Amino acid sequence: MDLSLVIPAYNEHESLPELVAWIERVAREHRLSYEAIIIDDGSNDGTWETIRTLAAQHRNVRGIRFRRNYGKSAALNTGFQAASGEVVITMDADMQDSPDEIPELVRMIREDGYDLVSGWKQKRYDPISKTIPSKFYNKVTSVATGIKLHDFNCGLKAYRRDVVKAIEVYGEMHRQIPLIAKSAGFSRIGEKVVQHRARQYGVSKFGLERFINGFLDLFSALFVQKFGKRPMHLFGTFGSLSFLVGAVLTIWVVLSKVIRQSQGMHYRDTTEQPLFYLALVAVIVGVQLFVAGFLGELVARSGSDRNRYDVAERAGFEHDLIA
């Protein structure tokens, strides 16, 4: 199969028939075999009934229904597990992503050799309360991750099948899929300017809190990428620095008292000096960071995937089988 389309849907019963018809028309014109996997993320407006009707009318349409609303990341991850196409494309169900972009996205994966191609909605039909924070978030994310994309949160993305089978999207990490893919070894990440269409049905499911959550998810993804299997390297480093600062301050406080005392100068008791308490806090924080690092190591080493590494290819092993 050429293509799998993964489409999360939450209260989108009005737009789905038109979207499926548009996808069918594009696939037929470009002779693409495809499946459209629509994930009903706990809708309460008849979306599932619409999906069942479409599945009965179109042999290419499949539906998956959640018992409750789990969020976009859960829907994408479930769709990735079910996808069987050579190329996997994600798109939103609200008709703001144009299916006319599909053929070029497929070409970029197949012919240009990209692992992942992310859409860039260069011209957007969103209010300024969304566009300005979005530009700031995308700029910060690009600098922090080293991935040169203008629109990390664009729902229209294309992947090689190997990518979606190797990654796991959880929590609200759908915004960080390029970083997750890069962490898994898929570094050929491209970008395509795509059309952003004005919303025709329903209302936006995301508020301004998504920008706060986006930054928190970014920090979490960066931490997991760099220290997920070696947390002691982070906590141990800061713990050592804090403990060292505390030790130096303690020695300084004690030595200054001894020197002043030996020279008959006025001195204050150690416990009356603010520096002593700063030293004490630094030592305690250092010990706590060390303990956090040890606990992190225990958790990491107890995980079932502690020695899981994705092998891209093998060569020469067939000779052993022949012998």
Residue 201 has pLDDT above 80, yes or no: no
- At residue 93's C-alpha, the angle toward residues 88 and 96, to 5°, is 100
Cα 255 from chain centroid (whole Å): 51
pLDDT digits (tens, 9 = 90+) for 125-144: 666 667 777 888 889 889 88
Tell me what the pLDDT averaged over the chain comes to.
Answer: 85
| Calpha distance 96→107 (Å, rounded) | 22
Identity of the amino acid at 248: V
Burial zone of 112 (CB within 10 Å; 0-12 exposed, 13-18 middle, 19+ buried): exposed
What pTM did the predictor assign?
0.75
pLDDT digits (tens, 9 = 90+) for 27-81: 999 999 999 999 999 999 889 999 999 999 999 999 999 999 999 999 999 999 9
Which pair of tokens denotes residue 111? 């012919």
Which pair of tokens denotes residue 180? 């997750």
194, 195, 201, 206: CA torsion to nearest 10 = 50
| Calpha distance 99→196 (Å, rounded) | 11
Least confident range from 8-12, 277-281, 318-322: namely 318-322
Q: Angle, nearest 10°, between helix axes 274-302 and 231-262?
A: 160
Residue 207 has pLDDT above 60, yes or no: no
| Calpha distance 192→157 (Å, rounded) | 9
Instruction: Identify the pLDDT of residue 323.
Output: 52
User: Nearest CA to 155 among 175, 183, 135?
Assistant: 175
183-192 per-residue burial string, b: 16 or more CB within 10 A, e: under 16:
bbebeebbbb
Q: What is the largest CA-CA distance in the chain?
A: 98
Instruction: Identify the pLDDT of residue 129.
Output: 66
